[in-house]
Amino acid sequence: GAFVFSFARHPAERLHDVFIRRIARAESGAYTMVQMMMARDYRGPGPGEMASSTDALLAGFDAFISFVESNLGGRTALRIDPAWAPQSTLLAEYARETPLDFIGRIERLDEDIAFVMSRIKSPPIDLAPKLKASLARVEEELPKAIWLTRDREIRIRRIFERDYARLGYDFISPN
């Protein structure tokens, strides 16, 4: 009688969000090693330098894309973090335990949450405003109009090809 659901996000927007939240804003700790590898191996700014300018953030994002490609390809000594692991892989792992009835999209948050609430016969809940506010703060830090280029998304699509294909995403970058 359970209704099992999850939410996915466009791979390019998800990677950007992970970069801003976990790498560019990272304090000393779990992601410092990633920052150091990005600076040493992928020509990115060093820890603490990414917040200095938009150019530094963009250079950091480019280095992070390269790092993630290497990390997912098994060419780094660091574990694959679920924050940037392919969503299709994570969803398949979850589904092995309990099949998913529905995969919503962050991009259609209001409609998909309403669908889930109707399926579980629950009164509507207002999760969307809090999540949207959080997403807006990340967007303000490095707006899509600046970071989303066709070249970057081609690189991201190459890394997350299965997410694009299996989750039905397409390019969102400008031509």
Closest of 72, 70, 61 to residue 14, by C-alpha: 61
pLDDT of residue 65: 98
Per-residue pLDDT tens digits for 29-87:
768 889 999 999 999 998 788 888 999 999 999 999 999 999 999 999 999 999 999 99
Closest of 88, 110, 100 to residue 169, by C-alpha: 88
What average pLDDT score do residues 82-104 get? 94
pLDDT of residue 134: 81
pLDDT of residue 52: 84
Q: Is residue 92 over pLDDT 90?
A: yes
Question: Residues of the chain with pLDDT > 70: what percent?
Answer: 96
**How much is the pTM?**
0.91
Highest mean pLDDT among 15-19, 27-31, 170-174: 15-19
CA quadruple 74, 69, 85, 53: dihedral sign? positive
175: pLDDT confidence band, cut at 50, 70 and 90? low
Tokens encoding 146: 């600046």
Spatial separation of the C-alpha atoms in residues 151 and 3, rounded to whole Å: 39
Tokens encoding 145: 């109009």
pLDDT of residue 153: 95
Print the SS3 string covering 109-162: HHHHHHHHHHHCCCCCCCCHHHHHHHHHHHHHHCCHHHHCCHHHHHHHHHHCHH
Q: Is residue 173 over pLDDT 80?
A: no
DSSP 8-state symbol, 78: S
Spatial separation of the C-alpha atoms in residues 136 and 23, rounded to whole Å: 18
Spatial separation of the C-alpha atoms in residues 110 and 112, rounded to whole Å: 6
Per-residue pLDDT tens digits for 105-143:
998 988 998 899 899 888 877 776 777 788 888 888 888
Spatial separation of the C-alpha atoms in residues 175 and 171, rounded to whole Å: 9
